[in-house]
Structure 1
Amino acid sequence: MLDAAVRWVAVSELADPTPYLEGGELLLTTGMRMEGDQSQYVARLVARGVAGLGFGVGVSHEEVPPALVTAAEEAGLPLFEVPRETPFIAIGKGVSELLAAEQYDEISRAFAAQGRLTRAALRPEGMHAVIDRLAKEVGGWAALLDEAGEVRHATRGANTEAVVSELSRLRTATRPSAPRHPESGRAAEPRPVEPGRHPEPGGLTEPGPSGETGAGGGGGGGRVGALPASLALSGPGEHIVVQPLGGGARPRGFFAVGGGQPFSPVTHTVINAAGSLLTLALEQGRTQLEAARRARSAVLELLLSGAREQARAVLEPLGGRLPEEPLAVLAAGADALEALEPLAFAALLTGEGALADRPLAVALVPDTVAEKVALEADAPVGVSLPCGYAPEGLNGALDQARRALAAAPGSGGGPGKGRGRVVRFAELAGQGLLGLLDRAAAQAFATALLAPLTAYGSRADLVESLRAYLDSNGHWDAAAQRLGVHRHTLRYRMKRVTELLGRDLDDPGVRAELWLALEATRR
């Protein structure tokens, strides 16, 4: 008990001073009310967490009462004698000065650690160097995770499985609940963190309904995938703190720190400093990335307008270069841009060049590797025919890639006939004229054109009769035989079709429109 931490000095002559104590105090008394057995008095002090008891002699007692000595010894409470010549205020001042010196030393160590972390952030390794330095500062391990919870960098001995498991559980939980340490299985009770204090190990804090910080297990309806503002896990011999990265409402990553002992307030300060540096590096990197992406989008616009030399001049300072001809144009959803950027010249296209008012990721690649690059996108991709940088050919290839993307599985277009989720325009063109038409537009056209026939109240199926007539190239006998009716019956039906549609079936243009409409209804 002699190594108990002293938080403050308190003086009391009450028979039971514990209601006025917080724990960790060095209690001073002259024993004015002490008589007889003192075991209950000492037991109350120990239960409250008093660090020690100083007894001033020469006032009420000439020596420390033997009953108090016995009770303190049995309870393990540190007890010492304060001579009459030593005023209690001197002890209070001495403890206060020691606490101030200790706090100054802690602050100095925290500032020194922050300086080392800052220097680490300036190294070429950037965020990875900060993680490595942080592990040394806390005497444990550290890890960096992306927004999906995937580990990007970790020091030796990092218990990343515990962190990934807990983040995954919180993402899929219908409402936040007390986290459990993966090894011990012991629940970490959520509790609020007071302003100016750090979350204790085993505590969980997260934004409340209005954004304030409160207990993680608060009432209200469940929020699927709610992530905590900070997370602390405790288990046998291990304490872990996880904090989000990024300045927005949605984390752009996480970092975790673990050690064998609970982290002190100074260590929490160092951890928070590392979090600020990591967030700053993340935001700066994203800002630079967005600037480079805007520049590449401008380059693509210049290429489409025929200004190839100006496009090269803009691209050169970025360290990029355009592929040699012949090239292919790849089109994919905006989410595929990040996967395409390391493999090709890729840019985001908006406005008129986009697909159905959605931004379009466009990549220019040598035609020989087009499909290989497209497969790396792990998303629906449309691939054009080979082309060059001439504006007519490049714009045409972009249109081909867009049309192929619309037919790719999972793109919101047609079922797709390409390999997996990659569709080449050459394969799409092989499906005939209808394969080049927008599915929704073709079906709307067919519905409107054939509406008078589908609404006809007769038992005769005029739509199927028209289909047989056109498929038989206008030959009455062949069409009637296909339908299993007399040719005069078919002639009557075609007369009704002509009247209802108000169109001449002998006109080749009318026949072509009707054939397209009938084919569109089959798809």
Structure 2
Amino acid sequence: MPPTLAAVAALPQLGLRVLTGPRVPDTPVVWVAVSELEDPTPFLEGGELVLTTGMRLTPAGAARYVDRLVGRGVAGLGFAVGVIHAEVPPELLAAARDRGLVLLEVPRPTPFIAVGKAVSRMLAAEWYEDVTRAFGAQRELTRAALAGPGPLVARLARLLDGWALLLDPSGAVRHAEPAAARDRAGALAADLARLRGPNARPADGALASVALSVPGENIVLQRVGLSGRPRGFLAVGTEAPLPHVAHTIVGAAVALLTLQSEAPRTGRETRAALGALLLGLPPAGPAVPRGPVRVLACAGPVLDALDSDPSGERCLAVPLPGPGRRTAVIVPDDLTDAVTSLLAPPPPASAPPASAPPVSAPPASTAPTSTAPTSSPPAVTGPVGVSDPVTMATARGGELETALQQAEEARSAARRHGRPVLRYADLPGQGLLGLLDPGAARGFATGLLAPLRAEGLVETLRAYVAANGQGEAAARALGVHRHTLRARMRKAAELLDRDPDDPAVRAELWIALAVASSEDDRIGHPGASRSGPPEIA
């Protein structure tokens, strides 16, 4: 609302004096107009505070002058004294009192520009308050919209201090706030028919609306939806006519409801693709990536990372059960490098190359190191495993399931070796370990190593196998004397009933140690154990 005449008259810095009565009405002042014309009304719109020195005012013309101002609907008249007239002419004062025009005396020290600036500042403050209120209301409506259309309608009614109805295309009530407002729906039927008509939608695409005024109530009715057929209607009612800021708030609510109503249409392709997969049919449609795809296994804030880049729009992310916030991401093959860089940025240039160690050289005895990305947004937690490509045109659930298993195996291996990204195709040892059944292999490894585990000799055997049976190198890796190592290995050979110096036996022990070192149900391919090759003199 613009500032009132009473608020302007009360500004102490202006020194204005009310001459027409003790009480100044709360008439809005939309602007300040300075004019010395006998008839300034052709240049006024109504609602102005007119300022004059009375340069052309005569006693005989005072009444006609006041009549013209009142007829135009000005907010009030300010008369400057000490310039042309020493005081306000009595004829002007009498006419103003007779016709109900507020007359203010402007003292000589107060220039008209000071009055104009004061009103301008008040208007700017009011405008800023409206903008701030509208912005705050839009935030509240957006927050409410996250919980659905019902909470949004309830919040809108409270913001307007009135009632609100959300109607479906037929006019039936979907949500009402308060509940008693549901009874008003029947009276809106005729106006809903007007909004459904072929001419209800303006050429510029804006939503059409109808404003109604009934005794004691003002109603605004708007369509919801962008298509030719409305997807619903929003009706709001208040005791007083809606100010401009309230119309802005209602428009924000309509926009949010329109987004909610149109969103299910954008998900049709996704639902169709899901239905095809459930029926065992080839998935199709814009929601399904074209051409070959890969499955990525990762953990952490994957969805946030994908949302931060346009390439994420072509990916399908599926949270996986279990600990660690694991997520599988189906990625078009041509975006694999971009998405893996987004989820797990490459290590610094000083880091070792990302290729995994060969089968014949198990990795060094160092703990896995996490690669902390330096770019924004933050990388996911831990490394990323990448499957072999799968063709979506012929893919079935089993093939995608295999791809997921490949991705998780690659991620498990990458985590053990501190790699940010590892592809399944780059895993060493697939020719042998990849042929083993995880359950059977784990049972074999557990049974074979159980006697050594009971005597605390597993790590001794691991170092001996990693050193290819060279006792001196294995002793240095363990930090023990070579005689101590020799005694331990004699004990291990007795418990195993096998000769660790036999290459075939060492190969068998290498496989058992590799299987036992896996952290989950899958066999980690790269490397035979957590111990790498010791330094051999």
Report the TM-score range of the alignment, normalised by the length of the smaller protein.
0.3 to 0.5
Structure of greater Rg: 2
> Quick one: higher RCO (CA 8 Å, sep 6+), 1 or 2?
2
TM-score (norm 2): 0.45
Please, what TM-score do these two structures have when normalized by structure 1?
A: 0.46
